[in-house]
Structure 1
Amino acid sequence: MSGPECCSNPPILSPTAGNGTVEKLGALDCYLTASPHSNFAVLMLSDIFGYQAPLLRKLADKVAAAGYYVVVPDLLEGDPFKPHDSLNDLPVWLKDHGPVEKGAEGSKPVIEALKSKGFSAIAGVGFCWGAKVAVELAKSRLIQTAVLLHPAFLSVDDFKDVDTPIAILGAESDKYCPPELVKQFEELLAAKPGIVFVLTGIEFC
């Protein structure tokens, strides 16, 4: 989440957006869009506006076209942060929509369902709220790599147990994850074995 502008220009949610289909996976509604012969799965974890955001689904379609089986789960279970709400209402909404409790725990049955389909390599791509979910899954080694875009609700402590290859795409004008905080993440991760990519200065909103 970059800042208040994210709520002043929210997406217009659409259950029919995208070229994929909505199906049950791990007991959750999921937007599925896939290359027909992919052996690799990408779990795209939404921001606070949920899995019906048209741009999120468009991006999922693009990733699928590159050769991946892409799943966008409805981790918010039909209750995204409402576009007419303001950031002042966000702490109240988060009490029932914690990225650890709601997001990471809710992702586990979806991951198990993907494994049962034969996918042994799963990447987690988290946007804003979903970035925290991806980090939690990485700590549990439930995914093999993670990408965080405009991450929110993260601290340095969140990365202490991460040894999974990870990319952090922040922004120069991000209120919730400014470059100086991303730098701290980078310093901690750089001391760990494995491949770690950290990119900053990218705008998505």
Structure 2
Amino acid sequence: MADTCCPSAAPKVNVEVNYTPKGAYETYCGFKNYVTGSKHAKRAVLSIYDIFGYFPQTLQGADILAEALDALVVIPDLFKGEPYDYSLFPPDSAEKKAIFQEFWKTKADFGKNQAAIRQITGALKDEFKSVEKWAIIGYCWGGKIATLVSGEGGIFAASAQIHPAALDPTDALALTTPHFCYASKDEPAEAVAKFEENLKSHSNPVVRERSIVDIKRDMFHGWMAARAKLDDETYRKGYQEGYEKVAAFLSKNL
């Protein structure tokens, strides 16, 4: 699908290797949230982290988007302080595989977390009344959540899944928002192509005409979130370019 974001329009962002987050943690709807950007902004982004939870690389991404878009950005702690233990990744033993599978069945359950997102967004709308439009983005596992809640009855004006996990082309058919599927070289090529095909033929003209599928072929799964390798110049540049592209898409659709 042709990239409708002109590269020259992409906001330029700065990336730091050793980063100190600019936001603060606040509680809404019984969930801890990382909150950054202006609380009086007219547009906002709900960001869904990957299974590793709050990491400096993910928080820096939120701060980047808040500044680039002059927006409020909120990351809810859906795992309530118990994300997947990064030291157990990859699940390369029988014990680790069992722990990994149990985490996906319980804490990462898609249905439960979709319901939580709907509760949280209701509370955020009540709290931040200046916001006129909300977008939602998600990384890996969070990308699936962001996609699933961007259908009929949702509040979001735009959505994005970044190096998505559990990519299902049929999810594209239920979208009602402009959507950015931003894959790495590690996502299943057939699923990415079919997802793009379903967007191109979507019955909703807004989804069909304003959505993007892009593959960052020199980056790995996780390059924009917890697994980002910012101490490597090549991957740091890929991280920067990735956020510029996501910011450009959101700017166009918020």
Question: Aligning the two structures, in what range does the TM-score lie when normalised by the shorter sequence?
Answer: 0.7 to 0.9
Q: What RMSD in Å do the two structures reach over aligned CA positions? A: 1.8
1:32-181 residue pairs with structure 2 within 5 A? 32-35=35-38, 37-50=40-53, 52-66=54-68, 67-86=70-89, 87=91, 88=97, 89-116=99-126, 117-118=128-129, 119-140=131-152, 141-172=154-185, 174=186, 177-181=187-191
37-46 vs 81-90, greater mean Cα deviation: 81-90
Q: Does 1:182 align with 2:195?
A: no
Q: Does 1:27 align with 2:40?
A: no
Instruction: Measure the CA separation in 1 of the matches of 2:109 and 2:151.
Output: 14
* Alignment gaps of 5+ in structure 2: 1-18, 92-96, 229-254
* Alignment gaps of 5+ in structure 1: 1-15
Instruction: Measure the CA separation in 2 of the matches of 1:58 and 1:183.
Output: 30
**Larger RCO: 1 or 2 (CA < 8 Å, sep 6+):** 2
Aligned 8 A contact 1:40 1:68 in 2: yes
Task: Note the alpha carbon deviations across 1:130-181, whole angstroms, 9 max, x for none.
Answer: 0111011102423221111110012122222113100011012x1xx32321
Instruction: Point out the structure with the larger helix share.
Output: 2
Give the partner amino acid of 1:182. V
Instruction: Measure the CA separation in 1 of the matches of 2:112 and 2:49.
Output: 12
Secondary structure of 2:159's counterpart equals strand
Instruction: Measure the CA separation in 1 of the matches of 2:109 and 2:213.
Output: 22
Aligned 8 A contact 2:170 2:198 in 1: no
Q: TM-score scaled to structure 1, two decimals? A: 0.84
143-152 vs 110-119, greater mean Cα deviation: 110-119
Moved over 4 A (4+): none
140-149 vs 41-50, greater mean Cα deviation: 140-149
Q: TM-score scaled to structure 2, two decimals? A: 0.69
Structure number with bigger Rg: 2
